[in-house]
Structure 1
Amino acid sequence: MKSLVINTIVNAKVDEILNNFNADTMQEATPPFINLEVPRFDGNSVSDQTHLITSIFGHYQSWVIEVTQKKETSDGIIIRTEAIETPFPFIMWIHTYHIRAIENGQTKITDNIKYKTENFAFDLLIYPIIYFIMYYRKPILMDKYNKEINI
Protein backbone atom coordinates (compact mmCIF):
# COMPACT_ATOMS: atom_id res chain seq x y z
CA MET A 1 0.00 0.00 0.00
CA LYS A 2 1.25 3.48 -0.87
CA SER A 3 0.18 6.78 0.61
CA LEU A 4 0.66 10.46 0.00
CA VAL A 5 -0.34 13.62 1.83
CA ILE A 6 -0.87 17.07 0.34
CA ASN A 7 -1.62 20.15 2.46
CA THR A 8 -3.24 23.28 1.07
CA ILE A 9 -3.86 26.47 3.03
CA VAL A 10 -6.64 28.75 1.79
CA ASN A 11 -8.30 31.99 2.89
CA ALA A 12 -11.73 30.57 3.53
CA LYS A 13 -13.74 29.23 6.40
CA VAL A 14 -14.33 25.51 6.89
CA ASP A 15 -18.06 25.87 6.14
CA GLU A 16 -17.39 27.66 2.85
CA ILE A 17 -15.12 24.85 1.71
CA LEU A 18 -17.65 22.18 2.71
CA ASN A 19 -20.49 24.03 0.99
CA ASN A 20 -18.45 24.16 -2.22
CA PHE A 21 -17.24 20.56 -2.14
CA ASN A 22 -19.34 19.22 -4.99
CA ALA A 23 -19.18 17.74 -8.49
CA ASP A 24 -18.35 21.11 -10.07
CA THR A 25 -15.36 21.62 -7.78
CA MET A 26 -14.17 18.09 -8.53
CA GLN A 27 -14.27 18.81 -12.25
CA GLU A 28 -12.56 22.21 -11.86
CA ALA A 29 -9.73 20.63 -9.86
CA THR A 30 -9.04 17.76 -12.28
CA PRO A 31 -6.22 18.03 -14.84
CA PRO A 32 -7.46 18.68 -18.38
CA PHE A 33 -5.97 15.46 -19.77
CA ILE A 34 -8.44 13.56 -17.59
CA ASN A 35 -11.93 13.85 -18.98
CA LEU A 36 -13.94 13.59 -15.75
CA GLU A 37 -17.68 12.98 -15.68
CA VAL A 38 -19.59 12.93 -12.39
CA PRO A 39 -22.94 11.27 -13.15
CA ARG A 40 -23.77 11.02 -9.45
CA PHE A 41 -22.75 13.10 -6.45
CA ASP A 42 -24.89 12.51 -3.36
CA GLY A 43 -22.97 14.79 -0.99
CA ASN A 44 -20.60 14.49 1.95
CA SER A 45 -22.62 12.53 4.50
CA VAL A 46 -21.88 8.96 5.54
CA SER A 47 -23.11 6.47 2.88
CA ASP A 48 -23.27 9.17 0.19
CA GLN A 49 -21.80 8.01 -3.08
CA THR A 50 -19.98 9.65 -5.94
CA HIS A 51 -19.83 7.91 -9.29
CA LEU A 52 -16.98 8.96 -11.55
CA ILE A 53 -16.09 8.18 -15.12
CA THR A 54 -12.58 9.13 -16.13
CA SER A 55 -11.10 9.07 -19.58
CA ILE A 56 -7.35 9.27 -19.87
CA PHE A 57 -6.27 9.34 -23.50
CA GLY A 58 -9.54 7.67 -24.56
CA HIS A 59 -9.40 4.88 -21.97
CA TYR A 60 -12.61 5.02 -19.90
CA GLN A 61 -12.68 3.88 -16.29
CA SER A 62 -15.43 4.02 -13.70
CA TRP A 63 -15.15 4.55 -9.97
CA VAL A 64 -17.72 4.39 -7.19
CA ILE A 65 -16.66 6.27 -4.07
CA GLU A 66 -18.55 6.17 -0.77
CA VAL A 67 -18.27 8.39 2.29
CA THR A 68 -17.49 5.94 5.10
CA GLN A 69 -16.74 8.34 7.95
CA LYS A 70 -17.52 11.91 8.82
CA LYS A 71 -16.31 13.37 12.08
CA GLU A 72 -16.61 16.92 13.32
CA THR A 73 -13.68 18.14 15.37
CA SER A 74 -13.24 21.25 17.50
CA ASP A 75 -11.56 23.04 14.59
CA GLY A 76 -13.07 21.44 11.50
CA ILE A 77 -14.11 18.15 9.97
CA ILE A 78 -12.67 14.86 8.75
CA ILE A 79 -14.30 13.04 5.84
CA ARG A 80 -13.11 9.62 4.74
CA THR A 81 -14.09 8.18 1.38
CA GLU A 82 -13.39 4.70 0.09
CA ALA A 83 -13.68 3.33 -3.40
CA ILE A 84 -16.15 0.46 -3.49
CA GLU A 85 -15.54 -0.01 -7.22
CA THR A 86 -12.12 0.72 -8.68
CA PRO A 87 -10.69 0.42 -12.17
CA PHE A 88 -7.66 -1.68 -13.00
CA PRO A 89 -5.01 -1.72 -11.56
CA PHE A 90 -6.42 -0.40 -8.25
CA ILE A 91 -7.72 -2.78 -5.61
CA MET A 92 -8.02 -0.21 -2.79
CA TRP A 93 -8.44 3.57 -2.62
CA ILE A 94 -9.02 5.58 0.56
CA HIS A 95 -9.08 9.38 0.55
CA THR A 96 -9.29 11.21 3.86
CA TYR A 97 -9.96 14.94 3.86
CA HIS A 98 -9.11 16.87 7.01
CA ILE A 99 -10.44 20.39 6.73
CA ARG A 100 -9.53 22.49 9.75
CA ALA A 101 -9.45 26.13 10.74
CA ILE A 102 -6.05 27.60 11.47
CA GLU A 103 -4.98 31.14 12.40
CA ASN A 104 -6.01 34.36 10.65
CA GLY A 105 -9.26 32.98 9.23
CA GLN A 106 -7.45 30.45 7.09
CA THR A 107 -8.23 26.78 6.62
CA LYS A 108 -5.84 23.91 6.04
CA ILE A 109 -7.04 21.16 3.71
CA THR A 110 -5.13 17.92 4.14
CA ASP A 111 -5.63 15.27 1.46
CA ASN A 112 -4.41 11.87 2.64
CA ILE A 113 -4.54 9.21 -0.07
CA LYS A 114 -3.89 5.51 0.51
CA TYR A 115 -4.06 3.11 -2.37
CA LYS A 116 -3.08 -0.38 -3.41
CA THR A 117 -2.82 -1.84 -6.87
CA GLU A 118 -2.54 -5.35 -8.28
CA ASN A 119 1.16 -5.44 -7.41
CA PHE A 120 3.94 -3.44 -5.80
CA ALA A 121 5.45 -2.45 -9.16
CA PHE A 122 2.16 -0.76 -10.16
CA ASP A 123 2.08 0.95 -6.74
CA LEU A 124 5.45 2.53 -7.47
CA LEU A 125 4.75 3.25 -11.13
CA ILE A 126 1.45 5.01 -10.45
CA TYR A 127 2.64 7.05 -7.45
CA PRO A 128 4.03 10.03 -9.42
CA ILE A 129 0.90 10.15 -11.56
CA ILE A 130 -1.39 10.22 -8.53
CA TYR A 131 0.83 12.78 -6.85
CA PHE A 132 0.65 15.02 -9.92
CA ILE A 133 -3.13 14.68 -10.19
CA MET A 134 -3.63 15.52 -6.50
CA TYR A 135 -1.05 18.31 -6.48
CA TYR A 136 -2.71 19.82 -9.55
CA ARG A 137 -5.68 20.68 -7.31
CA LYS A 138 -3.61 22.75 -4.92
CA PRO A 139 -3.26 26.01 -6.95
CA ILE A 140 -6.84 25.68 -8.19
CA LEU A 141 -8.18 25.50 -4.63
CA MET A 142 -5.88 28.32 -3.56
CA ASP A 143 -7.11 30.49 -6.42
CA LYS A 144 -10.75 29.61 -5.72
CA TYR A 145 -10.57 30.53 -2.04
CA ASN A 146 -7.68 32.99 -1.69
CA LYS A 147 -9.61 36.19 -1.55
CA GLU A 148 -10.29 38.66 1.19
CA ILE A 149 -12.33 37.21 4.02
CA ASN A 150 -15.31 39.33 4.98
CA ILE A 151 -15.52 39.29 8.75
Structure 2
Amino acid sequence: DHDAFFGTCNRLLAPDGKMALQAILVADRRFGRVRNSEDFVKRHIFPGSCIPSLDAITRGCARTGDFWLTRYDEFPQHYAETLHRWRDRLDVHADEARARGYDDGLLRLWEFYLCYCEAAFAERYVSLAQIVLERPRSIPTTLEVRP
Protein backbone atom coordinates (compact mmCIF):
# COMPACT_ATOMS: atom_id res chain seq x y z
CA ASP A 1 0.00 0.00 0.00
CA HIS A 2 1.80 3.10 -1.24
CA ASP A 3 -0.32 5.47 0.85
CA ALA A 4 0.55 3.66 4.08
CA PHE A 5 4.25 3.66 3.19
CA PHE A 6 4.45 7.33 2.21
CA GLY A 7 2.20 8.36 5.09
CA THR A 8 4.63 6.71 7.50
CA CYS A 9 7.61 8.35 5.76
CA ASN A 10 5.87 11.73 5.94
CA ARG A 11 5.14 11.27 9.65
CA LEU A 12 8.69 10.19 10.54
CA LEU A 13 10.75 12.53 8.37
CA ALA A 14 11.81 15.89 9.81
CA PRO A 15 10.10 19.00 8.37
CA ASP A 16 13.30 19.83 6.49
CA GLY A 17 14.09 16.20 5.68
CA LYS A 18 14.92 14.38 2.49
CA MET A 19 14.59 10.73 1.60
CA ALA A 20 16.14 8.60 -1.09
CA LEU A 21 14.14 5.76 -2.54
CA GLN A 22 15.38 3.05 -4.86
CA ALA A 23 12.58 1.19 -6.58
CA ILE A 24 11.83 -1.10 -9.46
CA LEU A 25 9.21 0.68 -11.58
CA VAL A 26 6.82 -0.25 -14.33
CA ALA A 27 5.65 2.27 -16.95
CA ASP A 28 2.67 4.36 -15.86
CA ARG A 29 0.51 3.05 -18.71
CA ARG A 30 1.02 -0.57 -17.57
CA PHE A 31 0.63 -0.04 -13.83
CA GLY A 32 -3.08 -0.91 -13.62
CA ARG A 33 -2.62 -4.16 -15.52
CA VAL A 34 0.52 -5.15 -13.60
CA ARG A 35 -1.07 -4.32 -10.25
CA ASN A 36 -4.06 -6.55 -10.97
CA SER A 37 -2.24 -9.53 -12.47
CA GLU A 38 -0.03 -12.31 -11.19
CA ASP A 39 3.22 -13.22 -12.92
CA PHE A 40 6.07 -15.58 -12.09
CA VAL A 41 7.69 -13.16 -9.66
CA LYS A 42 4.47 -12.42 -7.76
CA ARG A 43 3.64 -16.10 -7.56
CA HIS A 44 7.02 -17.63 -6.68
CA ILE A 45 9.41 -14.95 -5.40
CA PHE A 46 7.55 -11.97 -3.90
CA PRO A 47 3.94 -13.01 -3.16
CA GLY A 48 1.65 -10.05 -2.65
CA SER A 49 4.12 -7.58 -4.14
CA CYS A 50 3.24 -4.70 -6.41
CA ILE A 51 5.74 -2.97 -8.67
CA PRO A 52 4.82 0.72 -8.61
CA SER A 53 4.95 3.26 -11.40
CA LEU A 54 6.41 6.74 -11.00
CA ASP A 55 2.86 8.10 -11.12
CA ALA A 56 1.78 5.72 -8.31
CA ILE A 57 4.67 6.98 -6.20
CA THR A 58 4.03 10.67 -6.82
CA ARG A 59 0.28 10.26 -6.23
CA GLY A 60 0.98 8.37 -3.01
CA CYS A 61 3.25 11.21 -1.90
CA ALA A 62 0.65 13.84 -2.79
CA ARG A 63 -2.19 12.05 -0.98
CA THR A 64 -0.28 11.48 2.25
CA GLY A 65 2.04 14.42 2.74
CA ASP A 66 4.02 17.21 1.24
CA PHE A 67 6.95 15.55 -0.52
CA TRP A 68 8.44 17.04 -3.65
CA LEU A 69 10.25 14.84 -6.14
CA THR A 70 13.55 16.67 -6.69
CA ARG A 71 15.68 14.04 -8.39
CA TYR A 72 14.98 11.03 -10.57
CA ASP A 73 17.53 8.75 -12.24
CA GLU A 74 17.03 5.41 -14.01
CA PHE A 75 19.51 2.54 -14.38
CA PRO A 76 17.74 -0.35 -16.15
CA GLN A 77 20.75 -1.50 -18.18
CA HIS A 78 23.00 -1.47 -15.13
CA TYR A 79 20.55 -3.63 -13.22
CA ALA A 80 20.20 -6.03 -16.16
CA GLU A 81 23.98 -6.45 -16.04
CA THR A 82 23.87 -6.96 -12.26
CA LEU A 83 21.28 -9.72 -12.66
CA HIS A 84 23.39 -11.33 -15.38
CA ARG A 85 26.42 -11.35 -13.09
CA TRP A 86 24.40 -12.79 -10.22
CA ARG A 87 23.22 -15.58 -12.52
CA ASP A 88 26.80 -16.29 -13.61
CA ARG A 89 27.89 -16.46 -9.96
CA LEU A 90 25.00 -18.78 -9.12
CA ASP A 91 26.11 -21.08 -11.93
CA VAL A 92 29.76 -21.02 -10.81
CA HIS A 93 28.80 -21.78 -7.20
CA ALA A 94 25.97 -24.26 -7.85
CA ASP A 95 27.93 -27.20 -6.43
CA GLU A 96 28.57 -25.26 -3.21
CA ALA A 97 24.85 -24.49 -2.97
CA ARG A 98 23.99 -28.17 -3.44
CA ALA A 99 26.52 -29.10 -0.75
CA ARG A 100 24.68 -26.74 1.61
CA GLY A 101 21.43 -28.58 0.96
CA TYR A 102 19.83 -26.51 -1.81
CA ASP A 103 18.29 -28.79 -4.42
CA ASP A 104 18.33 -28.48 -8.20
CA GLY A 105 14.71 -27.34 -8.23
CA LEU A 106 15.54 -24.30 -6.13
CA LEU A 107 18.61 -23.52 -8.22
CA ARG A 108 16.52 -23.72 -11.42
CA LEU A 109 13.90 -21.46 -9.85
CA TRP A 110 16.52 -18.83 -9.05
CA GLU A 111 18.20 -19.17 -12.44
CA PHE A 112 14.85 -18.63 -14.13
CA TYR A 113 14.06 -15.68 -11.85
CA LEU A 114 17.39 -14.00 -12.63
CA CYS A 115 16.97 -14.59 -16.40
CA TYR A 116 13.36 -13.39 -16.30
CA CYS A 117 14.29 -10.19 -14.50
CA GLU A 118 17.39 -9.56 -16.61
CA ALA A 119 15.24 -9.68 -19.75
CA ALA A 120 12.62 -7.39 -18.19
CA PHE A 121 15.24 -4.74 -17.43
CA ALA A 122 17.14 -5.17 -20.71
CA GLU A 123 13.90 -4.71 -22.69
CA ARG A 124 12.77 -1.81 -20.47
CA TYR A 125 9.61 -3.58 -19.36
CA VAL A 126 10.67 -2.48 -15.88
CA SER A 127 13.30 -0.03 -14.73
CA LEU A 128 15.41 0.63 -11.66
CA ALA A 129 15.01 4.18 -10.38
CA GLN A 130 16.61 6.24 -7.66
CA ILE A 131 14.36 9.01 -6.45
CA VAL A 132 14.93 11.86 -4.00
CA LEU A 133 11.87 13.19 -2.20
CA GLU A 134 12.15 16.35 -0.12
CA ARG A 135 9.97 18.13 2.36
CA PRO A 136 9.23 21.73 1.31
CA ARG A 137 11.37 23.26 4.06
CA SER A 138 14.44 21.39 2.79
CA ILE A 139 14.26 23.03 -0.64
CA PRO A 140 16.15 26.35 -0.82
CA THR A 141 13.91 29.36 -1.42
CA THR A 142 16.77 31.47 -2.74
CA LEU A 143 19.63 30.73 -5.06
CA GLU A 144 23.17 31.49 -4.04
CA VAL A 145 24.86 33.56 -6.73
CA ARG A 146 28.60 33.28 -7.01
CA PRO A 147 30.79 35.71 -8.94
Output the TM-score relative to the length of structure 2: 0.26
Q: Which has the higher contact order (CA 8 A, sep 6+)?
A: 2
Please tell me whether Structure 1 or Structure 2 has the larger radius of gyration of its CA atoms. 2
Output the TM-score relative to the length of structure 1: 0.25
